[in-house]
Chains A and B, each alone.
Chain A
């Protein structure tokens, strides 16, 4: 209020001066009247350091030389024309920002008229609103803790806790008083959600409420700070700032399968209470400061966590587009590092000097130069580790293949031709979806459409033991083997081809169901063979695999055994009218062929005599165009024709082999994930130029790596020759230097924000002029000092905050409680009814002074985790690759289709979610889960009907309600009163009232227990924490 009055009086003063000046038609003052116009509206672009050849308004020379200003002749001065609108067109200048007011134009006109004086030696500088004297840029002060305050009428003894002493001093200044301590049930629920993001178990609540130990609260705090879940909870906060996700984003939103290692690093660091300065140093330069420490190396995943445009960085052939993408890529890294650690909005200085804060455009590019040697990408953990890992995996896989083959052989099982197409041995080791190119014989993964450069009749060898080659059939006669064997009688076709020959359906296949069987399921297999294409299998090799070279265990398995090819040929397109054909050849001799449509499922049974060498499958388009001709072979198998009889010895061998296979598979699982992480790859830094208006096509001076000039510590990090390692090391040291005034202030404020829902500075990622001012400046100083002197221990700060009385206050607005009506719990605990108060809400409705605790709504992730905890379905498995609650389809732009999380591997905590940028899950987004493109310092909390619908009707919620009911029934079979009481205990951490029980009973009676469970999940009390 006082501030406001001051500014009004200043305004009045200005107005007075102006009117006097007008009245007297006084001489225009350059310093007072003209300079501010240039400084505020023109200098951002028109200055010396900006682009060659352009006009600078820092000095008068340019204006005079080019007749922008002709002293005494305003009509001929080009400047006035530029700032005045011409006809319908807006003024040409200023290009950015508001146009000049009539009064400002008049000032310029009069200045020119009066001779356009520009005092010698005066060089104008663009000014930011804040300069180096800005509060957040001052060294952290050591401040004394105020005395404790005793509040009248408050029965509690004055708190000696340092935080309370700061808070209470402010409250007392405003003649306000703090609220009473919340009841113990509220406290334990608050602490659990705040520190762990999960609800407390009813037994834990009961134990805590009954605990008479005066240290019980502090003990609980210590227990929770040591819980593994603590790191999971607080990592989610940090990932908001790191804008972490598991895909690149942009058009080709590819997966980052190894990004999770960084997420795990954060969890481990928080749980271990890694000193915050070390935590930051590792994330900025861990790979170069501690190259032999895997943990430090993985930490650089931080720098790479944001979105990245594969098309712009890699795919496009246009260098202009690549440069533009790279500029934004570096901007993302710089912005992330500076925003997260120092809450400076340096990115505002990319196109011009910062308008508000003392950050020049040049400094921005110096910061950019720090990261100029970085590219995002997968990176090996430790030298040679990846090679070792991969060769180990390959060895295991090959052994498993051998064993599987041997088992299959002994059991006389068939060999699966689709599996072979997928690169496997025929016993389930191939990759689903893998394809062979009928033009070249090469393996392809991604979907193709219409193929170019098709040469009908050309035969291409395939590098696979069981496949001889592939081809696009020519009309009539076509080569079908590498031995130049030919098939004849092939029908005429269009000579076109579509997609690959696949282990599975081809791209855009309409259906994989032929007859009653869907062959694209786990129990079946299929070859997708879109017209026009053909494939020839090497039967000699297949026979060797099935029968074995030297085995003569039974007659049926001798070399001369007859094999049999079985399959079901079907048509995967939509038209029912038969419109494509398949042909099957043995050594070039036609065995079976048919024209087929949607309703056909043609059984195939072909005997393969021991002398046969080649099996060829061909699809052709039927001569009516190749559209939709998705010919498929379901369960294509070759097996020994005679039934196999197993001897006891054979059975023993099979059993032994099976045991061996189990062992091998266990070893494969135990090998874990490859030692690879998504982070940054270091290279020789490219030169960084100041870019005029941020435009990569207008490069100016080359800059050295460096930091911000207001800083007390050295801000030059070397020259253009300095290595990436040294640049980033210098940066990491600059940020974590004891003299950096921002780093400690920023993190203690972030912690405060996450604990209270509002920071001491209400804009945790902006400590500049545009951000908020601290509500408790002294407290902020004290906390920042405390962090630095306590070895940068974040848990120390957490403990301080949550053990304060301020944190333990009730959140309930005392003013509005009915007179004399204490809550049931307060009655129970003998707390006297409170008097009606309004002062607090009148003076400080936003609770900036913390006269009570802020009630909080659970974040999207915490809602989901709590539901799982209450139903006891929560899978507490920590670490490792994230869960994927979507179906993934490979495509140019991959397709992510969400499914209902209804299996244990999807019931992990939300921090382990595999995060997709382009396709966020609607359920979480609706509950205010932020877009990971943004650095989210404070989450929005909104209330919408779509949220109600999501919680009430989403299948995940309904299934969980069902499991909740199942849990209750299992714990208290058929005892409805106990089930209901338990339901409230689990969901709300309290017993139900009689009123609630009465209505709950009615709901259960009429609609069943599930509906009580569903309702509890939807209650305000479930999603709000007092």
Chain B
């Protein structure tokens, strides 16, 4: 089962997973640690720290997921394990 191609497939898949997990930690937590500092920046009436929790991070999550679906699919195809 564990052919070299399979190993490389899983390494790439795992790499993508950790990248996504890193982005998730950044947008889900890290950026909100700085909410008070970010709130000093105001755009269109939105304090930036508040905006990130109310909209910014959410937009990032949505974009990340569509990008992930495409990226993972291209990894699948590259290794010949995509569905027909």
Pair from one complex: no
